[in-house]
Amino acid sequence: MANVAVIGAQWGDEGKGKVVDWLASRADIVVRFQGGHNAGHTLVVGNETYRLSLLPSGVVRGKLGVIGNGVVLDPQALLSEIEKVAAQGLKVTPENLRIAENVPLILPLHPALDRARETARGEDKIGTTGRGIGPAYEDKVGRRSIRLCDLAEPETLSAKLDELLLHHNSLLRGLGAPEFSKKELLDGLLALAPKLLPYAEPVWERLDEARHSGKRVLFEGAQAVMLDVDHGTYPYVTSSNTVAGNAAGGAGIGPDAIGFVLGIAKAYTTRVGSGPFPSELHDETGKLLGERGREFGTVTGRPRRCGWFDACMVRQAVKVGGIQGLVLTKLDVLDGLPELKICTGYRINGETVKRLPAAFRAQAAAEPIYETLQGWSGSTRGARSYAELPAEAVKYVRRIEELVEAPIVLLSTSPERDDTIMMRDPFAG
């Protein structure tokens, strides 16, 4: 039986949370494999809206949630989120949430360094979420991380903190930011240990067992291909690999277990934070998309930059991300627009190109080449079958499908869980 991996195909906030929640009804386990609480996934279920950052979206459906080793985990953020959803009637316990014992932790010094760096960059800032994601991943590859399992070994913790503080306090001092004391960090971690350790386990064993007993696993990506640390608009990216291939390494399972790779794309484009965005609109249409689509960051509340659908970029995301089928979300936001544009390529320094180049200046110089399509006057909002869509909306979807070179397997027509049109079951492989 096929598993499914869900990844973002643009710059994040495509509606991954809604799609994972919808698919989770047919999965047994939902696994987060990268990112951290920089993610903000919104699930609308009747009158209740859940905003999740760390918890795998499947927990809302009562499924087992797994936080894999590829995530960077802020213990305090996790406990706060568990409390927040408890107030909405959702009980998260070690019964329905398991965390990889080897997951690296985000400590208070990580957001401090993240913010100090952003301040130092001034105008050139990345526009990070300020959650310490980048510094935490640096410590992981620098072999300095405190990992969840270390909370069970106070001596290891103490020695590792010495090494970590030598590194971080030197940096913080250089950036003119306050330094951290070992005692405060150690006391904080030791106090968190009994709350967190009951969730810890070698999740690779559980996933291996799930695989052999034919259970369905849904891998929930955060961020998106254009924010991938290798394939995105570097350096305006996040600090992890967001492509589907990382679901294997970030969960501790073989690449053949990833299953069908589902990419999520909005019917237009948005981006939060700085960096190139060729099809960005600075006019009334851009404003309208932002208002209609309620385009404000789930994590930071920042307004999202809006623009036309960039088929050239999504095609690239399909190729490098390993996307086998696409979900197009927020089609309803385009209702009533007289005409729609799709970016099909770029003009860069007088040349026509069909991909976003890697070099920063070339990226920033990319001018979109548009194709114009007729809009539709009817409504797609809440549509649950293809037959309910206006003919021009169908044409728009079909044209995108051709340009991005991937089949569109699902359409989303409102934030609500069941306002979804399925053309092909991703779990069928």
Number of residues binding to ligand GDP, judged by CB under 6 A: 22
Has 223 been labeled as part of a binding site? yes
**CA dihedral sign of residues 337, 268, 278, 120:** positive
Lookup: tokens for 112? 């401090």
| Residue 183 known to bind ligand | no
Consecutive H or E run containing 211: helix 203-212
Q: Which is nearer to Mg ion, 12 or 368 (CB)?
A: 12
Partner from ligand IMO, Mg ion, ligand GDP, none binding residue 330, C-beta < 5-8 Å depending on class = ligand GDP
* 412, interface contact from ligand IMO, ligand GDP, Mg ion, none, CB < 5-8 Å by kind: ligand GDP
| 230 vs 233: CA distance, rounded Å | 8
114 is catalytic: no
Coil, strand or helix at 252: coil
Q: How far is the CB of 134 from ligand IMO (least distance, A)?
A: 5
Task: Tell me if 14 contacts ligand GDP by CB under 6 A.
Answer: yes
The reply to whether 41 belongs to the active site is: yes
- Binding site partner of 362, from Mg ion, ligand GDP, ligand IMO, none, Cβ cut-off 5-8 A by kind: none
Q: Under the criterion CB under 6 A, does residue 329 sit at the interface with ligand IMO?
A: no
Give the one residue of 3, 10, 34, 42 binding ligand GDP; rule: CB under 6 A: 42
Query: What residues contact 207, with CB distance under 8 A and at least 6 apart?
Result: 29, 31, 66, 217, 251, 252, 253, 257
Tokens matching residue 367: 């001018």
The residues in 282-341 that bind Mg ion, with binding defined as CB under 5 A, are 298
Helix (H, G, I), strand (E, B) or coil at 81: helix
The single residue of 37, 63, 110, 140 carrying the catalytic annotation is 140
Piece of 43-51, 84-92, 126-134, 321-329 that binds ligand IMO (CB under 6 A): 126-134
Alpha carbon separation from 102 to 140, 207, 266 (Å, rounded):
11, 15, 34
Amino acid at 414: S
- The answer to whether 13 contacts Mg ion (rule: CB under 5 A) is yes
> Is 57 one of the annotated binding-site residues?
no
Q: Exactly one of 37, 41, 266, 341 is catalytic; which is it?
A: 41
Q: Is 335 left (phi over 0), alpha (psi -120 to 50) or beta?
A: beta
- Return the number of the residue (157 or 410) whose C-beta is nearest ligand GDP: 410
Backbone angles phi, psi at 407, to 5 degrees: -70, 140
* Catalytic status, residue 13: yes
Among all residues, whose Cβ is closest to ligand IMO? 273
Which of 266, 258, 265, 314 minimizes the C-alpha distance to 427? 258
DSSP label of 73? B
CB of 101 to ligand IMO, least distance (A): 24
Q: What is the DSSP annotation of 149-179?
A: GGGG-HHHHHHHHHHHHHHHHHHHHHTT---
- Selected from 35, 40, 56, 321, the binder of Mg ion by CB under 5 A is 40
From 104-112, 311-319, 357-365, 409-417, give the range in contact with ligand GDP by CB under 6 A. 409-417
Q: Name residues whose C-beta falls within 8 Å of residue 5's C-beta, 6 or more positions apart in sequence.
A: 218, 219, 221, 244, 247, 258, 259, 260, 261, 262
Q: Which of 128, 145, 316, 380 binds ligand IMO (CB under 6 A)?
A: 128
Give the footprint of ligand IMO on this chain (CB under 6 A): 8, 12-13, 38-41, 126-129, 131, 133-134, 222-224, 227, 238-239, 272-273, 298
Per the annotation, where are the binding residues for GTP? 12-18, 40-42, 304, 330-332, 412-414
Per the annotation, where are the binding residues? 12-18, 38-42, 129, 143, 223, 238, 298-304, 330-332, 412-414
User: Any idea which residues carry the catalytic annotation?
Assistant: 13, 41, 140
